[in-house]
Amino acid sequence: MFKLLKLIKIKSQLKNIIIFLPILISNVSLKNFDIWNIFIPLIIFFFLTNIIYLTNDFFDREIDSFNITKKNVFNDFKISIKSVILLNISIFIFFFLISRTQYFSINLIIYLFSFYLYNFYVKKIKYLDVIFLTNFYIQRILYGGDIFNIEISLIFLLFFSSLFLILSFSKRYVQIYLNNLDQDNKILAYGMIDLKKISILIYFCLILNFLTLFIYIFNKNLLFDNLNFLFSIHSFNTITVHHYIISLFYIYCLFDLLQNLIKRKIKIDFYNYSITNPKYIVLIIFFFIYFLIIKLIL
C-alpha cells in the first residue's frame, strides 16, 4: 500500500480543478453550495485519475523507458499486474457505491471507458489520440456541469475544446522533437516529419480559441445577436473591465507558451513546463481567485 501511495501524481491532480470551471465561469453563486458538495467531486476524480495514471504508466513502462519526457516513471520500483487489475476493479465497486448519490454522473463512466480505449488502442492512432486526450479534459468539465447543475454553453465547450486541443497537440509536439522520433518508433505514432502538420493544427485551434473568446467577450454587441444560441442561461450577464484584463493576460501567456514551443525551448514534458512556469502559475491563480471572489459576492 505504501508503494502505491508513492505513485500518486500530485502535479497531475491539478488537472482535476477543471471540474470547477462550469461554476466559476457561470453566474451562479457559491453561497448556496455546501463546502462538502464542492470538494467531494474533486476527491472522486482524485481517486479515479490516480488509478488511471498508474494503469497507464504500468502498461507503458517499456515504452516510457525510451521516452525522455517520461524518464523517471517506474525507476524506483514496480507493481504487479495483479495490483493494477484489483485497483481497476475497485473503480467499478466505487462507482456502484456512489451510483445513487448526487456525485455520480455518466461522465465518470465515459471518462473511464475512454481511458481504456485510449490506453489499449487509440493511443497508437495518429491524431485520434489527441482527440481522446482533449476529451479527458472535456469530460471533467461536463462532470462539473452535471454535478453542480450548470448548463454548459456551446461557446464554453468550443473555447475549452480548442484550448485543450492546443495543449494536447503541444504535448505531442514536445515529445516528438525531444525524442527526435523517426516515423517507425516505439513511443508514438508520430515522427519528426509530422511537426509541421501539428504546428498548423495548433495555429488553427488557436484561431478558433481566440474567435470564441472574442464572441464571448463582445456577445452584447448587436453584431452577435444572431449567435445567442451559443450561450446558456448560466453565461455571464455582464462583461466587466476585469474580463478584458484577464483575457489579455491569457492571450499573452498562450502566445508566449506557443512561441517557446515552436522555437523548441521546452526541454521537459509540456504539461510539467506549463504548471511550473511562474507566468502561467500567476495566470491560473489569478483566474481562480478572481472568479472565486465573484462567486462569493454574487
Q: How many domains does the chain have?
A: 1
pTM above 0.85, yes or no: yes
User: pLDDT digit of tens for each residue in the chain (298 aa)?
Assistant: 445 555 566 666 778 889 988 887 777 766 667 777 788 999 999 999 999 998 988 888 888 777 787 765 554 446 788 989 999 999 999 999 999 999 999 999 999 999 999 999 999 999 999 999 999 999 999 999 999 888 888 888 999 999 999 999 999 999 999 999 888 888 888 999 999 999 999 999 999 999 988 888 776 554 455 555 556 665 655 666 767 777 888 888 899 999 999 999 998 888 888 888 887 777 777 777 777 776 666 5
Amino acid at 232: S
Parent domain of 281: 2-297
Residues 6 or more apart whose Cβ sits within 8 Å of residue 25 = 156, 236, 291
